[in-house]
């Protein structure tokens, strides 16, 4: 947004963040206001910039893997999965089925965890205090599974290039199934609290409307795109791992408003449960590593690989010069691109709606800034 060079008598510029509880991290938004109405916004980002892409060039392929967990730190498993897959694609490695299904189960658990965190904080931002306690309770169960699997709860580094570091622990299948059984009624419970709640509907319906066409022009992906009615999910259209072998649906919205995006994410959690259940059934004993050498040395080439992360399309563009260090790793972060839509989505709304719109975009600043 071009900056205003003068201030109209009615125009006011105020600053929101970077220390603001509803900006989910260190996002600073300059708001141009006419009274309570937003004329335009400008995002100022970079407070959490750590130069992840630069670090990649100075590490080996293997060494860089844990760094990606620190981008979207509430969905570390999917970050790691995207990176490992990108390098595997570069090398042409096929994973054995057990590794694929394990990855899918953990990634879908992570998607649920990410959506739960989003739901709780989004609702809290808008003023519904109860859900956050519930969603954190359920999320805790997922983190426990992660902890049992790899010893870490958040920055898991769960996968390795070529497969998995650890085989599943005894009783994993039972834990995963038990969690699915446990979660479904809880999702109904959230819906009871929110979906027909009049305050919730007033705060979210017709707020931050994004048409399907605008969404594509702005490049948004993930639940934000699907909320605008575009039925597009990388797990379906360009399947990776074994997503083409499981059944699930792509929930979409119609109006492209905050409420629809909420419904989309709620439904996605249910679909993730379906995927987990099918994947658990198909877990058969077998190898967990594809055919990779001890030294990861991909051919001199470049490859772009993207996965459907909880927040949208997470892409890795890896350029190799044939050595053990990547020549360049570009991360295409969903949050960064989605946040770009904030300006268009928030124009004409009230200041209080900005909080709802930032929430509905589901950004993580660690990933925006990298």
150-to-107, 114, 143, 171, 294 alpha-carbon distances in Å: 14, 18, 10, 14, 21
Q: How far is CA 158 from the centre of its chain?
A: 17
- Whether omega for the bond prior to residue 368 falls within 30 degrees of 0, making it cis, is no
**Candidate list 73, 134, 136, 304; residue touching other proteins; CB under 8 A:** 304
Integer Cα distance of 101 and 246 in angstroms: 10
Binders of other proteins among residues 80 to 99 (CB under 8 A) are 88-94
Which stretch, 29-37, 189-197, 263-271, 293-301, contacts other proteins (CB under 8 A)? 293-301
**Candidate list 69, 125, 308, 313; residue touching other proteins; CB under 8 A:** 313
Which stretch, 148-156, 185-193, 236-244, 247-255, contacts other proteins (CB under 8 A)? 236-244
- Which residue lies nearer to other proteins by CB, 132 or 318? 318
**Candidate list 240, 248, 259, 262; residue touching other proteins; CB under 8 A:** 240
Give the pair of three-digit tokens for residue 292.
Answer: 């990779």
Binders of other proteins among residues 205 to 224 (CB under 8 A) are 216-220
Q: Check binding of 143 to other proteins (CB under 8 A).
A: no
Total residue length of the chain: 370
CB 291, min distance to other proteins, A: 4
9-to-13, 30, 189, 348, 351 alpha-carbon distances in Å: 11, 18, 48, 18, 18
Q: Check binding of 5 to other proteins (CB under 8 A).
A: no
CB 283, min distance to other proteins, A: 21
CB 166, min distance to other proteins, A: 21
Q: Check binding of 297 to other proteins (CB under 8 A).
A: yes
At 317 the three-state DSSP class reads strand
- Which residue lies nearer to other proteins by CB, 149 or 240? 240
**Candidate list 34, 178, 300, 348; residue touching other proteins; CB under 8 A:** 300
Binders of other proteins among residues 98 to 137 (CB under 8 A) are none
Binders of other proteins among residues 11 to 70 (CB under 8 A) are 45-46, 49, 51, 53-55, 57-58
Which positions from 329 to 368 touch other proteins by CB under 8 A, shown as an x/- string?
A: -x-x---xx--x----------------------------
Give the pair of three-digit tokens for residue 82.
Answer: 């995207």
107-to-17, 63, 146, 253, 340 alpha-carbon distances in Å: 31, 21, 11, 23, 26
- Which residue lies nearer to other proteins by CB, 33 or 234? 234
The DSSP symbol for 243 reads G
Torsion angle defined by CA atoms of residues 2, 216, 67 and 53, in that order, rounded to the nearest 10 degrees: -50
Integer Cα distance of 356 and 43 in angstroms: 16
Is residue 18 exposed (0-12), middle (13-18) or buried (19+ Cβ within 10 Å)? middle
Could you please report the per-residue DSSP string of 209-235?
A: ---HHHHHHHT--THHHHHTT----HH
CB 57, min distance to other proteins, A: 8
The footprint of other proteins on this chain (CB under 8 A) covers a number of residues equal to: 60
By the criterion CB under 8 A, which residues form the site for other proteins? 1-2, 45-46, 49, 51, 53-55, 57-58, 88-94, 216-220, 230, 232, 237-240, 291-294, 297-306, 313, 315, 317, 319-323, 327-328, 330, 332, 336-337, 340, 369-370
């Amino acid at each position: 947004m071009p900056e205003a060079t003068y201030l109209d008598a009615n125009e006011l510029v105020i600053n929101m963040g970077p220390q603001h509880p509803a900006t989910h991290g260190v996002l600073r938004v300059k708001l141009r206001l006419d009274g309570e109405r937003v004329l335009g916004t400008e995002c100022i980002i970079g407070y959490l910039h750590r130069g992840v892409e630069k670090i990649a060039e100075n590490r080996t392929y293997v060494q860089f893997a844990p760094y990606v967990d620190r981008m979207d730190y509430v969905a570390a498993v999917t970050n790691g999965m995207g990176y490992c897959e990108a390098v595997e694609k570069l090398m042409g490695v096929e994973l054995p089925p057990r590794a694929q299904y394990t990855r899918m189960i953990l990634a879908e658990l992570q998607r649920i965890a990410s959506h739960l965190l989003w739901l709780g904080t989004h609702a809290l931002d808008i003023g519904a205090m109860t859900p956050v306690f519930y969603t954190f309770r359920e999320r805790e169960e997922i983190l426990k599974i992660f902890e049992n699997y790899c010893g870490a709860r958040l920055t898991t580094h769960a996968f390795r290039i070529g497969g998995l570091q650890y085989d599943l622990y005894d009783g994993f299948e039972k834990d995963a199934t038990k969690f699915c059984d446990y979660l479904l009624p809880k999702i109904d419970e959230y819906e009871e609290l929110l979906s027909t709640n009049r305050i919730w509907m007033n705060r979210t319906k017709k707020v931050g409307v994004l048409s399907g066409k605008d969404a594509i022009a702005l490049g948004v992906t993930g639940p934000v795109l699907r909320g605008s009615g575009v039925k597009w999910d990388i797990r379906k259209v360009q399947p990776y791992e074994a997503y083409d072998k499981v059944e699930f649906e792509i929930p979409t919205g119609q109006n492209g408003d905050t409420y629809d995006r909420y419904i989309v994410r709620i439904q996605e959690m249910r679909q993730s449960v379906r995927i987990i259940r099918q994947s658990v059934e198909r877990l058969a004993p077998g190898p967990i590593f594809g055919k990779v050498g001890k030294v990861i040395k991909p051919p001199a080439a470049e490859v772009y690989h993207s996965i459907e992360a909880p927040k949208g399309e997470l892409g890795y563009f890896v350029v190799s010069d044939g050595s053990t260090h990547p020549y360049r790793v570009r991360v295409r972060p969903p949050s960064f691109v989605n946040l770009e839509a904030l300006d268009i989505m928030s124009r004409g709304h009230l200041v209080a709606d900005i909080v709802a719109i930032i929430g509905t975009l589901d950004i993580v600043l660690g990933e925006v800034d990298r």
